Amino acid sequence: MLTRLLVIIGVLVVLDTYLFFGLRSVFAKNKFQVSVLVGYAILAVVSYIGFYIMIQYFQERALNATLSRNLWIGVAFSFIIFKLLFFVFLVFDDVIRVVNYLFQLVSKMMGYTPATDFNERRKFIIKLGLGVASIPFASMLYGITKGKYNYKVKKLVLNFPNLPKAFHGFKLVQISDIHSGSFDSVSDVQKGVDLINEQNADVVFFTGDLVNGDSREVLPFIDTFKSIQPKVYSILGNHDYSDYNRWDSDEAKKENADLMDVYHKEMNFELLKNEHIKIKKGTDEITVLGVENWGKGFKQKGDLDKALQGVENDAFKILLSHDPTHWDLKTIPHKTHIDLTLAGHTHGMQFGIDIPGFKWSPAKFRYARWSGLYKEAKQYLYVNKGFGFLGFPGRVGMWPEITVIELQNT
C-alpha cells in the first residue's frame, strides 16, 4: 500500500513539475505570471491533501461522508482531469518546439533564414489548452458543490394495450442508487424526497444500491426516506450485499447484511427478493416483480423464474432489476413477456451531456443500455441515472434523477 502510494505521489509530482514549468514558459514576461504560478501551486497542494483525505477515508472505513471531505476529494479529482487535459496540449507544444528547432537548424545549414517562427503559435496552443482544460474543471467544481443535489424530474408516458383499464393513468416514480454513505447533507437529500412527494404518484419503486457497502450508512437518512408518501417497493443492488467492505469475520458481514432488511422495514420500504407482489385497483391488478442483483461482471443472485412463480402468463408485469445487463441477458430471452423493466446501476457515469436530441456519457462504452428508455420486442426498459453519487462526489451533466412514468391504455 505504501509503495503504491509513493509511486502515485511521485507521478503526480513529476506531472506537476512539468506543467508548472510549461506555464512559466508561456507566461514569461506576462504580468499575470506570478498569479498563475501561485494559483497552480495552491491547487496542486489542495489536490494532494484531497488524495490523502480520500485514502484516510477508506482506511478508517468511515460510514458517512462530510461536506469538507467531499469538497477536498472533489477538487482533487477535478484538478487531475485539468492536469491530464493540459498535459496533452503541453506535449503537443513540445513536439512543435522540436519541429521548430529542427526546422531552424536545417534552414541555417542550407544558408537561409526562415520567415516562419512557431513561437507565437506555441503560445496560442498552450493558452488554448488552458482554456479547454478549464471547462471540465469549472464544470466539476459546480458538480461537487451544486450538481450532486440538482435533482431533475424526468416524465414520460408509456402506452400498453394489455394494461388493465383500471390502471389507465397510473403514475409511478422510480428512484435508484441512493448511495447514502456519500451524502453530506440531510437537508439537501430531503429536498429530493420532497420533490418525489410533489409528483403525487401512486407508487414509488427503488431499484437498489441503498448504501456504498455498509448498511449503517443509511441511519442518518432513515427518517428522510421514511417521509416518502406513496408506498415504496425496493430491491437490492450490488453495493447492498456488504461485499465491498473488509469485515473482521463472516459473522460481522452477515450481521451487516441482515441490517439491510431491518433498515428497509424502518423506512417502510417493502424489499422484494426474487418475489412478486400484486397491486390491485377494483377487480384489476398488475404484478410487480423484484429480483436480487444480477449483472454481467457483478453479483448474480437474481432469479427471475423464482420471482415469477405463481404469476399468470398474461398478467401485466413490471420488473425491478438493478443492473440493465440483466434485461438483455435474462429478461428479453425469457419465455415470459415482461412489459416494463426498471433499472439503474450506471449513474450515467455521473458525467456527460443529456439535452433534447443528444445524450452522451462515458457509460456508453461499458453499457449498451445506460440511461433512458429502450424497447425490444414490445418490452420496455428504463434506466434511471440515480438519486445519489459514488466515487467522484458530484455530478456533471448527468444530474440526479427522479423518474415519473404514467401508464396508459389507449
CATH code for the domain of 166: 3.60.21.10
Claim to verify: residue 256 and residue 393 sit in the same structural domain? yes
Claim to verify: residue 163 and residue 133 sit in the same structural domain? no
Tell me the per-residue pLDDT of 291-339, one tens digit each, with 9 for 90 and over: 999 999 999 999 999 999 999 999 999 999 999 999 999 999 999 999 9
Residue 326's pLDDT is what?
Answer: 98
Q: Which residues are CB-contacts of 249 (< 8 A; sequence separation ≥ 6)? A: none
**CA end-to-end distance (rounded Å), the chain:** 61
Claim to verify: residue 372 and residue 264 sit in the same structural domain? yes
Contact 215, 244 (CB under 8 A): no
Of 56, 77, 57, which is closest to residue 65 (Cα–Cα)?
Answer: 57
CA–CA distance, 391 with 393 (Å, rounded to integer): 6
State the pLDDT confidence band at 235, using cuts at 50, 70 and 90. Answer: very high
Contact 285, 277 (CB under 8 A): no
- Pick left, alpha or beta for residue 197 (phi over 0 → left; psi -120 to 50 → alpha; otherwise beta): alpha
Contact 344, 383 (CB under 8 A): yes
Claim to verify: residue 274 and residue 167 sit in the same structural domain? yes
Claim to verify: residue 50 and residue 25 sit in the same structural domain? yes
**How many domains does one find in the chain?**
2
Give, as one character, the DSSP assignment of residue 116: -
Claim to verify: residue 282 and residue 352 sit in the same structural domain? yes
Claim to verify: residue 185 and residue 92 sit in the same structural domain? no
CA–CA distance, 100 with 26 (Å, rounded to integer): 16
Tell me the per-residue pLDDT of 122-179, one tens digit each, with 9 for 90 and over: 677 778 888 898 999 999 999 999 999 999 999 999 999 999 999 999 999 999 999 9
Claim to verify: residue 99 and residue 69 sit in the same structural domain? yes
CA–CA distance, 2 with 392 (Å, rounded to integer): 23
Of 214, 225, 203, which is closest to residue 285 (Cα–Cα)?
Answer: 203
Give, as one character, the DSSP assignment of residue 377: T
Residue 119's pLDDT is what?
Answer: 62
Claim to verify: residue 86 and residue 156 sit in the same structural domain? no
Claim to verify: residue 244 and residue 188 sit in the same structural domain? yes
Going by their DSSP bridges, the two strands 379-383 and 372-376 should be labelled as antiparallel
Of 145, 177, 202, the residue at which a domain comes to its end is: 145
Claim to verify: residue 132 and residue 177 sit in the same structural domain? no
Going by their DSSP bridges, the two strands 284-290 and 275-281 should be labelled as antiparallel
Give the residue numbers spanning the domain of 82: 2-145
Give, as one character, the DSSP assignment of residue 330: I
Q: Which residues are CB-contacts of 97 (< 8 A; sequence separation ≥ 6)? A: 118, 122
Tell me the per-residue pLDDT of 200-216, one tens digit each, with 9 for 90 and over: 999 999 999 999 999 99
Q: Above 80 in pLDDT, residue 224?
A: yes
What pTM, to 2 d.p., does this model score?
0.91
State the pLDDT confidence band at 114, using cuts at 50, 70 and 90. Answer: low
Claim to verify: residue 369 and residue 253 sit in the same structural domain? yes
Residue 116's pLDDT is what?
Answer: 57
Cell 400484486 sits at which residue? 278
Of 145, 166, 197, the residue at which a domain comes to its end is: 145
Of 145, 170, 201, the residue at which a domain comes to its end is: 145
Grid cell listed for 313: 402468463
Find the radius of gyration of the CA atoms of the chain.
26
